[in-house]
Amino acid sequence: TSPSAPKPPLPKAELHLHIEGTLEPGLVFALAERNGISLPYATEDALRRAYSFTDLQSFLDLYYALMDVLRTEDDFADLANAYLARAREQGVRHAEIFFDPQAHTARGVPMGTVIRGLARALDGAQETYGISTRLIMCFLRDESAASALETFEAARPYLDRITAVGLDSAEVGHPPSKFAEVYALAREAGLKCVAHAGEEGPAAYVWEALDVLGVDRIDHGVRCMDDERLVARLVADQVPLTVCPLSNVRLRVIDDLADHPLPAMLDAGLLITVNSDDPAYFGGYADDNFTAVREALGLDEEALRRLARNSFRAAFLDEETRATYV
Ligand code: ADE
Ligand code: ZN
């Protein structure tokens, strides 16, 4: 290789990735056409111009609206295959993928259609893309606790396909404790547990996710830095945080990437991973987030390698498989 050949991306695991957030404008238009749906945007560029967000809710409004093009098993398989192809280019070797079943069942798309479609792509992922995969089923926290329980029961026939449950959507006003019952059921069923907490919501929601839901990882968690005791707890227990730098900037959780608390979080001894959240909307996939923090925060090679190593440490892998990655 010539001295100027670009370095291949670091091998990494992606642990915070909403599959619906990988829906690129090109696929929105292709699926709308295939399903006979008319879109309120004339062109892909016109759609892209709508990707300007003021907070989490302004993003969620577009995210849920565009999902309407996802109707059939093929649609979900195509979505996941498109993600996996891009992830491979970004050095992703293992992906733990969120999906939001309620956003589909509420539109009349059956649970089985969603899971079978995603599973079809994931089943071939090791062979086709060299990526091992897990599925994480998220509950929408701005829906009721009863709806989460119904969703869990609807997913029971498919639990062998699901590794963990998660909690996402509009955070403020919807504390983790609202979902104590469904998390207890998930744990009884042998599933791992994660939850978005401390993205827009307060550090108190991170405490609840740990102490009431008993989560194995915190998604985002950047607001933990407001609470020294919480940081000490997260460090002592080495609870992984799946941080999403480009997402934080686009959703105005952080004003500027140069002000991101990531370096302080690493210095504090937190087990930090870097992830892409909703890459079609936030301007970058997994390695793009690594590049962005390297450039904006001046992280050196050692720090980047630590982040990549952390991603495998924090993954839901058996120890034998983990040893093949780290
Ligand atoms: N759903 C998709 N992306 C999300 C995010 N960043 N926070 C909460 N819910 C989400
Ligand atoms: Zn997220």
pLDDT on residue 217: 98
Ligand 1 atom closest to residue 251's alpha carbon, by position in its atom list: 6
What pLDDT tens digit does each residue of the chain (326 aa) get? 566 777 899 999 999 999 999 999 999 999 999 999 999 999 999 999 999 999 999 999 999 999 999 999 999 999 999 999 999 999 999 999 999 999 999 999 999 999 999 999 999 999 999 999 999 999 999 999 999 999 999 999 999 999 999 999 999 999 999 999 999 999 999 999 999 999 999 999 999 999 999 999 999 999 999 999 999 999 999 999 999 999 999 999 999 999 999 999 999 999 999 999 999 999 999 999 999 999 999 999 999 999 999 999 999 999 999 999 98
Cβ(302)–Cβ(270) under 8 Å? no
Ligand nearest the Cα of residue 217 is 2
pLDDT on residue 266: 98
What is the pTM (predicted TM-score) of this model?
0.98
Residues with CB under 6 A from ligand 1: 18, 21, 56, 63, 168-169, 196, 199, 247, 277-278
Architecture of domain 12-314: Alpha-Beta Barrel (3.20)
Cβ(218)–Cβ(184) under 8 Å? no
Q: Tell me phi and psi for residue 286, to 5 degrees.
A: -60, -55
- Alpha carbon 301 to its chain centroid, in Å, reads 24
Q: How far is the CA of 219 from the centre of ligand 2 (A)?
A: 7
Distance from C-alpha of 255 to C-alpha of 242, rounded to nearest angstrom: 19
Domain boundaries, the chain: 12-314
Catalytically active residues, by annotation: 199
pLDDT on residue 6: 79
* Coil/strand/helix, residue 317: coil
Strand 12-18 versus strand 92-99 pairing type:
parallel
Closest CA to 242 of 303, 293, 195: 195
Question: Is 196 known to sit in a ligand binding site?
Answer: yes
Give the mutation target among 196, 199, 244 for probing the ligand 1 site: most ligand atoms within 8 A of CB: 196
Q: How far is the CA of 314 from the centre of ligand 1 (A)?
A: 20
Ligand 1 atom closest to residue 21's alpha carbon, by position in its atom list: 2
Q: How far is the CA of 112 from the centre of ligand 2 (A)?
A: 23
Q: How far is the CA of 164 from the centre of ligand 1 (A)?
A: 17
Helix residue spans in the chain (DSSP H): 25-34, 44-48, 56-66, 73-89, 101-105, 111-123, 125-129, 145-155, 180-188, 203-211, 228-236, 245-250, 262-267, 279-282, 286-297, 301-313, 319-325
> How does 275-297 read in b/e, with b if 16+ C-beta sit within 10 Å?
bbbbbbbbebbbbbbbebbeebb
Q: Which residue owns the Cα nearest ligand 1 atom 8?
A: 169
